[in-house]
């Protein structure tokens, strides 16, 4: 769909979050379909690939990109709070993110290219639920918590509990993602961000790896890992995390990491890459991160 095609849809621009939530509640009660429009960088493409059915009623498009409640970036105590509709560009330019959460800044710099970064949001990245979502991989490594809100109230869901399957999540029909909360690691905590895409920019990940660690006397006090494009949802690599936390870093061998990662991932062959290559890269990127941690 082109931007011109947007005019075919009924369109609404609520002024406040409450107004948006009321609208969502009303429509979901009548089983009517609503699309929340943030940057539109996923939805337009999806629309183009699978055009609207001619007979069906077109969904109402609700622009949430300008809702104040979804916009800001804030640090409260040791929690980083990112509005679901904050753009990648805002994220990568934010001084607090750069200082306290450089992993997320690095990821934001690697999404699409500048044009996409100027519009795309973490809320959209999360809600689309693509297993190739770079932002979600970073949020997985950061063990982010999602603040979901509906007219019924707010709830906090850890990322690990958000997805229920390929492009499926616990997000209810009357609910939206308001914000993402991240427990900030100590300044200077080691991290890794490595995107293996199809080219240097405007690339969907073949594999993307995010890692974050807090090291205390040769052991990991905190370890977060996230990996895109190796499973039906962004992978949190539980076996690899457990391995890392289970013994002193010096005792974690490359062979251990390989075994754990292979237990954690289940990649497929598709137009972008092969399962064998993805397995290999997944293992190597995790081994590199452990190697860097050991070398600290």
Partner 1 sequence: MAPSIGTSVPRVDGPAKVCGSARYVDDLVLPGMLHGATVRSDVPRGRLLGVDLDPAFDWTGITVVTADDVPVNAVPLIESDQPVLARDEIRHAYEPVALLACEDRLRLAQALRHVTLRVEPLPPVLTIDDALAAREAIRGADNVIKRYRITKGRGGAAVEGCEVVVRGVYETGWQEHVYIEPNGMIGWWDGDTARVEGSLQCPYYVQKGIKGVFGLPDDGVDVTQAVTGGGFGGKEEYPTLVALHALLLAKKSGRPVKLVYGRQEDVEASTKRHPSRVEIASGCDRDGTLRAVSIRVLFDGGAYVTLTPVVLSRGALHACGAYRWEDVTVEAVAVATNTPPNGAFRGFGAPQTIWAIERHLDRVARTLGTDPVALKRKNLLRLGDTTATGQTLKESVGVEECVEKAMAASGYVEKRERGPVVTGRTARGVGAAIFLHGAGFTGSGEKYLKGKVAVDLLPGGRARVRTGSTDIGQGTETVFRQIAADGLGIGVENVDFAVPSTANVPDSGPTVASRTVMVVGSIVDAAAKELRARLEAEEKARGATRSAAWERLAADPARATSLVQYEPPPGVVWDDATYSGDAYPAYGWACDVAEVEVDLDTFETKVTGFWAAVDVGRVINPTLCAGQVEGGTLQAIGWALTEKLVTKDGKILNPRMTNYIVPTSLDAPPFTTTLVEAAYSRGPGGAKGVGELPMDGGAPAVAAAIEHATGLVLDRVPMLPEDLFEASVKGGAR
Ligand X SMILES: Cc1cc2nc3c(=O)[nH]c(=O)nc-3n(C[C@H](O)[C@H](O)[C@H](O)COP(=O)(O)OP(=O)(O)OC[C@H]3O[C@@H](n4cnc5c(N)ncnc54)[C@H](O)[C@@H]3O)c2cc1C
Q: Which of 27, 43, 206, 233 is close enough to bind ligand X by CB under 6 A?
A: 43
| 99: contact with partner 1 by CB under 8 A | no
Instruction: Kindly give, in sequence order, each residue whose CB lies less than 8 Å from that of residue 39, ignoring residues fewer than 6 positions away.
Output: 65, 87, 116, 119, 120, 121, 124
Distance (Å, whole) CA 44 – CA 66: 18
| Whether the Cβ atoms of residue 159 and residue 147 lie closer than 8 Å to each other | no
Residues 62-101 that bind ligand X (CB under 6 A): 64, 70, 84-85
* Edge-to-edge strands, sheet with 11-12: 11-12, 60-63, 34-37
Q: Which does 280 bind (CB under 5 to 8 A by kind): ligand X, partner 1, none?
A: partner 1
Does the protein bind ligand X through residue 133 (CB under 6 A)? yes
Cβ atoms 117, 87 nearer than 8 A = yes
277 near partner 1 (CB under 8 A):
yes
Do the Cβ atoms of 114 and 89 come closer than 8 Å? yes
Give the binding range for ligand X (CB under 6 A) out of 24-32, 40-48, 49-57, 249-257.
40-48
Q: Work out the angle at residue 212's Cα, subtended by the Cα atoms of residues 207 and 218, and round it to the nearest 5 degrees.
A: 125
CB of 131 to ligand X, least distance (A): 10
Give just the sign of the alpha carbon dihedral 250, 251, 254, 257: negative
Pick the binder of ligand X from 112, 151, 214, 249 (CB under 6 A): 112
Q: Which are the contacts of 106, defined by CB distance < 8 A and separation ≥ 6?
A: 138, 191, 193
Name which of ligand X, partner 1, none residue 288 binds, using a CB cut-off of 5 to 8 Å depending on partner kind: partner 1
- Which residues within the stretch 166-225 sit at the binding site for partner 1 (CB under 8 A)? 196, 198-204, 206-207
Q: Which of 225, 247, 177 is nearest to 36 (CA)?
A: 177
Residue nearest to ligand X (CB): 124
**39 part of the interface to ligand X, by CB under 6 A:** yes
Binding residues (CB under 8 A) for partner 1: these are: 8, 45, 51, 54, 113, 196, 198-204, 206-207, 271-274, 276-277, 280-281, 284-285, 288
Residues forming contacts to ligand X in the complex (CB under 6 A) are 35-43, 45, 64, 70, 84-85, 111-112, 116, 119-121, 123-125, 127-128, 133-135, 176-177, 202-203
């Amino acid at each position: 769909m082109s931007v011109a095609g947007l005019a075919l849809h009924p369109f609404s621009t609520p002024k406040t979050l409450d107004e948006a939530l009321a609208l969502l509640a009303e429509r979901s009660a009548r089983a009517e379909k609503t699309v929340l429009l943030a940057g539109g960088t996923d939805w337009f493409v999806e629309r183009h690939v699978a055009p609207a059915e001619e007979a069906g009623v077109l969904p109402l498009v609700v622009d949430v990109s300008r809702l104040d409640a979804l916009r800001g970036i804030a640090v409260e105590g040791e929690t980083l709070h990112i509005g679901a509709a904050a753009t990648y560009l805002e994220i990568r330019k934010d001084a607090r993110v750069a200082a306290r959460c450089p992993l997320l800044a690095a990821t934001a710099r690697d999404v699409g290219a500048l044009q996409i970064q100027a519009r795309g949001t973490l809320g959209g990245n999360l809600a689309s639920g693509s297993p190739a979502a770079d932002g979600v991989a970073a949020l997985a490594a950061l063990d982010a918590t999602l603040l979901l809100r509906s007219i019924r109230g707010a709830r906090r869901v850890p990322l690990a509990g958000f997805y229920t399957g390929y492009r499926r999540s616990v997000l209810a029909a009357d609910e939206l993602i308001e914000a993402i909360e991240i427990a900030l690691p100590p300044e200077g905590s080691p991290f890794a961000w490595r995107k293996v895409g199809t080219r240097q920019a405007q690339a969907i990940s073949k594999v993307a790896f995010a890692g974050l660690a807090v090291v205390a006397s040769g052991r990991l006090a905190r370890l977060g890992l996230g990996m895109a494009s190796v499973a039906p949802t962004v992978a949190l690599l539980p076996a690899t995390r457990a391995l890392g936390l289970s013994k002193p870093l010096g005792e974690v061998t490359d062979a251990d990491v390989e075994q754990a990662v292979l237990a954690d991932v289940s990649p497929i062959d598709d137009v972008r890459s092969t399962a064998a290559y993805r397995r290999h890269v997944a293992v190597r990127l995790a081994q590199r991160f452990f190697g860097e941690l050991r070398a600290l």
